[in-house]
Amino acid sequence: MAKTLFDKIWDAHVVKDIDSTRQVIYIDRHFIHEVTSPQAFSGLRNRGIELFRTKQTTATADHNVPTLNQHLPIKDPLSRSQVDTLTENCKEFGVNLYHLGHELQGIVHVIGPELGITRPGMTIVCGDSHTSTHGAFGNIAFGIGTSQVEQVFASQCLILSKPKTMRITVDGILQDGVSAKDVILYIISKLTAAGGTGYFVEYAGSTISSMSMEERMTVCNMSIEMGARGGMIAPDETTFEYIKDRKFAPKDKEYKQALQQWKTLYSDHGASFDQEYTFDAADIGPMLTYGTNPGMGIQVNEQIPNISEYLDPKQLTKSLDYMGLQQGQLLEGQEIQHVFIGSCTNARIEDLRKVANFVQGKQKADHVQAWIVPGSKQVEKQAKEEGLDTVFADAGFQLREPGCSACLGMNEDKVPAGDYCISTSNRNFEGRQGPGARTILASPLSAAAAAIEGKIVDVRKYMN
Amino acid sequence: MEAFIKFESTAIPLPIENVDTDQIIPARFLKAITKEGFGDNLFRDWRFDRNNNEIADFVLNNPKYSGQILVAGKNFGCGSSREHAAWALDGYGIKVVVSSFFADIFKGNALNNGILPIQVSDDQLDIIFKTIEEDHQAAFEIDLEAQQFTICKKGIHINFEIDNYKKECLLKGYDDIDYLLDLKEEIVAFENQRTIY
């Protein structure tokens, strides 16, 4: 019978059927960070048990870390305690940790792929909803809660019900100035913030397969923003090339054997999905969010919906009130005070290159604070080797040190109340970037253009 | 985890859709290394202003409303996977959340912490909101064994779905780890028969 990519991987990981709906699923890779792991380690301690498979577990400190002066002790005592607790826990239970200051440290969803730990055909989890990022390599990757982190620590397994499957096909060539971020924001705006709940998504079509691995990660990263537990893309030559020679990737003969296995990972012709959507790349323009969930998105030349015509008028009223925006308004021309280029969605080297290429020879607007927070130490190093740091400095952008930063403002990187921030991150929830902060989600290119002009612009006008 | 027993309570209405876990517990309060104390910051930025004064018109600050049941608009618990959201609800004393739709990860996290998410239809949710609006003292009965949510004064019984395994776990106060630890031999056998690259 024709099988979907999802079913092929899922079925290969069933340890046991519990009943007609629940199965014990084996987990190949477990990433952890300082925020969602301490209570799980305490759980192991309370039960007096070991961490079952330490070699399949990788830790990094990312959510709480400062993005300036990382060589100094963390100032906030609570953040410091959480980061120190991770270090102590990893030492006690034997987990490999990329600690603050380590040359391979970074945002968990940036370093996993970068180090070749993330590979096709695997099951991958992390106590973080953006674990869906790793699905870009053709695996089943999803976020879990801390109780489940403890379950994986204890048994390398989870008890799960199989989700439904959805395929989203995007075909055609994107307009100049339109990127992977616009594609996923467009899809979420069509499906809404709950449209994917209960599903695991496979992205397909010529637009997707012509994307680089980093662009594919941007797409899969935001699957959770429409409620889908995960998103995946069938691995191909682009995937195999990316993985080859990475630190933990299989080498030589083993790589060749791996390729044999990875090349079987695709949805069979005729495989059926519980839900299918198709979009045309040509319809997608630069996207922006105007509300307080990622489903509230429009193209730069579209008006904010009218309250009376909106599906949920109460939500729109509340969101626009928070955002200080009007129904029917165009976002183009909206003044912004902050630009945040970073997060597990858009802080990889290609994102930084695109921004550098755009801002080279230009100056940010005086009233704008423009931050670039690289996804990892390796991204930061690469950027400096390529001289991007000079380009950013010349244009008035600040290149900081890696971490989750102003995506969620757990450290001191916050947007002040009432200010507008055009952000390449993934969530525009109320208070996400700081209490009262107003977030407009966009692509790195749109964010860079807004930094230069001090207001939201259609980046396509810069394209030849 | 405590065993879930049949109970009756008044309910707190929160007729807002897409309540994300950043609202339930904002990120800046996730720095603890234990599960305690999160209830104090439940819905922090809706409950308190920037000077830590109570925002009078938020439902948790309205003395009219109380209870162990939270009734919320659809797609409750979307966004971040933080289990701290479940710990915050639990810490505040919420045992049941009723909505017409739940985000996946939140639903799992709630169940793993002894909180019962009850999914009802949009129409049923409207009736529940109206009941509370008419009488903030209206009582509701939760009977997990019978999978029944009852609007006591109206005698309306709403049956809800929950899978048998999770139902047993809640009723007995068991968690998944007890089950998984007993499977070690099968897990090792599984590992030994496969190659993963």
Q: Report ipTM for this prediction.
A: 0.95
- What is the CA angle A120-A126-A130, rounded to 5? 80
B131's tokens: 């009941």
Interface membership of B28 toward A (CB under 8 Å): yes
Q: Give the end of a domain, one of A264, A285, A306.
A: A285
With contacts defined as CB-CB under 8 Å, which chain A residues touch B175?
147
Radius of gyration of chain B from its Cα atoms, rounded to whole angstroms: 18
3-state secondary structure B157-179: EEECCCCHHHHHHHHHCCCHHHH
- A158 and A260 part of one domain: yes
Mutate: best of A22, A429, A433, partner B, most B CBs <10 A = A429
pLDDT tens per residue, range A100-118: 999 999 999 999 999 999 9
- Contact assignment for B34 to A150 by CB distance below 8 Å: no
* CA pair distance B41, B24, nearest whole angstrom: 8
> Can you give the pLDDT at residue A79?
96
Interface membership of B55 toward A (CB under 8 Å): no
pLDDT at position B145 over 90: yes
How much is the average pLDDT of A362-389? 98
- A311 and A326 part of one domain: yes
CATH number for the domain spanning A2: value is 3.30.499.10
- A273 and A351 part of one domain: no
B52's tokens: 């830590």
- A37 and A148 part of one domain: yes
B 139-158 near A (Cβ less than 8 A): none
* CA pair distance B153, A267, nearest whole angstrom: 53
> Can you give the pLDDT at residue B67?
98
Long-range contacts of B156-163 (CB under 8 A, 24+ apart): B156/B127, B158/B120, B158/B124, B160/B118, B160/B119, B160/B120, B161/B119, B162/B116, B163/A19, B163/A21, B163/A22, B163/A161
Describe the crossing of helices A146-155 and A38-47 by its angle, rounded to 10 degrees.
50
Nearest residue to A397 (alpha-carbon basis) of A354, A440, A345, A334: A354
* CA pair distance A205, A281, nearest whole angstrom: 10
pLDDT at position A311 over 90: no
Interface membership of A32 toward B (CB under 8 Å): no
**B1 pLDDT band (50/70/90 cuts)?**
confident
- Bridge partner list, A199: A164
Burial class (CB in 10 A: 0-12, 13-18, 19+), A463: exposed
Q: In sequence order, what DSSP letters do the residues of chain B get, joined into one string?
A: -PPP--EEE-EEEE--SS-BHHHHS-GGG---SSS-SGGGGTTHHHHB-TTS-B-TTSGGG-TT---SEEEE-SSBTBS---THHHHHHHHHT--EEEES-B-HHHHHHHHTTT-EEEE--HHHHHHHHHHHHH-TT--EEEETTTTEEEEGGGTEEEE----HHHHHHHHHT--HHHHHHTTHHHHHHHHHT----
Backbone φ/ψ region at A101: left (φ over 0), alpha (ψ -120 to 50), beta: left
pLDDT tens per residue, range A260-308: 999 999 999 999 999 999 999 999 999 999 999 999 999 999 999 999 9
pLDDT at position A420 over 80: yes
Interface membership of A377 toward B (CB under 8 Å): no
- A258 and A292 part of one domain: no
Q: Give the end of a domain, one of A233, A267, A285.
A: A285
* CA pair distance B31, A80, nearest whole angstrom: 9
pLDDT at position A464 over 80: no
- CA torsion sign for A93, A95, A101, A107 is negative
What is the number of other CB atoms lying within 10 angstroms of the CB of residue A125?
A: 26
Measure Cα distances from A357 to A288, A364, A392, A425 in Å.
21, 14, 10, 20
What is the number of other CB atoms lying within 10 angstroms of the CB of residue B63?
A: 6
> Can you give the pLDDT at residue A326?
98
The torsion defined by the Cα of A434, B71, B102 and A404, in degrees rounded to 10, comes to 10
Mutate: best of A20, A118, A155, A256, partner B, most B CBs <10 A = A155
Residue B95, φ and ψ in degrees, nearest 5: -110, -25
Question: Domain residues for A378?
Answer: 288-462
Single-letter amino acid code for the residue at B23: Q
Distance from CA of B173 to the nearest CA of A (A): 14
How many structural domains does chain A have? 2
> Can you give the pLDDT at residue B122?
97
* CA pair distance A74, A414, nearest whole angstrom: 16
pLDDT at position A455 over 90: yes
Q: Are A127 and A142 in contact (CB under 8 A)?
A: no
Measure Cα distances from A301 to A297, A328, A335, B81 in Å.
12, 12, 15, 33
* CA pair distance B150, B130, nearest whole angstrom: 14
pLDDT tens per residue, range A229-240: 999 999 999 999
- A59 and A31 part of one domain: yes
**B185 pLDDT band (50/70/90 cuts)?**
very high
Looking at every residue in chain A, the average pLDDT score rounds to 97
- A114 and A159 part of one domain: yes
Residue of A nearest to B86 (CA): A145
% of residues, chain A, pLDDT over 90: 98
> Can you give the pLDDT at residue A201?
98
Distance from CA of B153 to the nearest CA of A (A): 29
- A216 and A302 part of one domain: no
> Can you give the pLDDT at residue B165?
87
- Contact assignment for B31 to A82 by CB distance below 8 Å: yes
How much is the average pLDDT of A359-374? 98
**A259 pLDDT band (50/70/90 cuts)?**
very high
**B175 pLDDT band (50/70/90 cuts)?**
confident
- Contact assignment for B20 to A262 by CB distance below 8 Å: no
Q: Give the end of a domain, one of A261, A285, A309.
A: A285
- A421 and A273 part of one domain: no
Spacing of C-alpha A103 from chain mean position: 21
Q: Which residues in A213-321 belong to E strands, given as ranges?
A: 230-232, 275-280, 287-289, 297-299
pLDDT tens per residue, range A197-227: 999 999 999 999 999 999 999 999 999 999 9
Distance from the first to the final alpha carbon of chain B: 38
> Can you give the pLDDT at residue B150?
98
- A281 and A164 part of one domain: yes
With contacts defined as CB-CB under 8 Å, which chain B residues touch A227?
75, 78, 103-104
* CA pair distance A276, A453, nearest whole angstrom: 40
pLDDT at position B169 over 80: yes
Distance from CA of B17 to the nearest CA of A (A): 7
pLDDT tens per residue, range A70-103: 999 999 999 999 999 999 999 999 999 999 999 9
- A173 and A213 part of one domain: yes
**A19 pLDDT band (50/70/90 cuts)?**
confident
A 119-148 near B (Cβ less than 8 A): 119, 121-122, 127-129, 143-148
What is the number of other CB atoms lying within 10 angstroms of the CB of residue B67?
A: 22
- Contact assignment for A147 to B83 by CB distance below 8 Å: yes
- A133 and A227 part of one domain: yes
